[in-house]
């Protein structure tokens, strides 16, 4: 049995949007012109009455409102050189979170909770340990080696954590190196901090 796919009709808003988008589009290459053979046409009899004039549409086509402007996204700030030197010389972080052995969902939830708690406690620099990953993660359906190591930076840069995270970068060797991140936590404005 052969099924024929039906085309759905576009809503007026979709049609207006499509016309708006394609207004400035032009072909890269012109279509080839096929020679037209002349066709003998018999003369038409004169119409009895003229056709009625075409009426302009009662309402002009709806124009799509412009898309709202995106708020500017400020880039995340790296650690200051002075802070980086202190950490290299053995300074401690305010708090640490170890995500070893967690699934993506559990790690994501724990990370958000930890960072909001650190912000509430007034911490300015925390350490998030992701680990470097191992081959067994692939066998458990986690998508391969070092999944958390790849995903945690994406989560930290996500809009939902912009009110909490100022910036982050790879930790120094003494704190885990490539398997950990220093995260700068934004201070809350409550309480005059």
Place of tokens 């009426």: 55
Domains and CATH numbers, the chain: 81-187 (3.30.1370.110)
Q: What is the pLDDT of residue 47?
A: 59
Parts of the chain with a pLDDT under 50: 70-73, 137-139, 141-142, 191-193
Q: How does DSSP assign 90-138, residue by residue?
A: TPPPSEEEE-TT--HHHHHHHHHHHHHHHHHTT-SEEEEE-----THHH
pLDDT at 82: 86
């Amino acid at each position: 049995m052969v099924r024929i796919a039906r085309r759905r009709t576009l809503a007026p808003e979709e049609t207006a949007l499509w016309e708006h988008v394609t207004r400035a589009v032009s072909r890269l290459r012109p279509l080839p012109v096929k020679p037209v053979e002349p066709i003998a046409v018999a003369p038409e009899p004169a119409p009895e009455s003229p056709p009625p004039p075409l009426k302009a549409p009662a309402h002009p086509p709806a124009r799509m409102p412009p898309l709202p402007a995106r708020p500017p996204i400020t880039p995340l700030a790296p650690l200051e050189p002075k802070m980086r030197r202190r950490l290299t010389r053995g300074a401690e972080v305010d708090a640490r979170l170890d995500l070893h052995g967690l699934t993506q969902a559990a790690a994501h939830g724990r990370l958000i909770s930890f960072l909001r708690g650190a912000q509430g406690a007034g911490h300015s620099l925390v350490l998030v340990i992701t680990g470097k990953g191992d081959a067994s993660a692939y066998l458990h359906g986690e998508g391969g080696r070092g999944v958390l190591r790849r995903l945690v930076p994406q989560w930290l840069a996500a809009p939902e954590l912009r009110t909490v995270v100022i910036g982050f970068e790879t930790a120094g060797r003494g704190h885990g190196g490539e398997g950990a991140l220093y995260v700068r936590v934004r201070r809350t404005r409550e309480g005059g901090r």
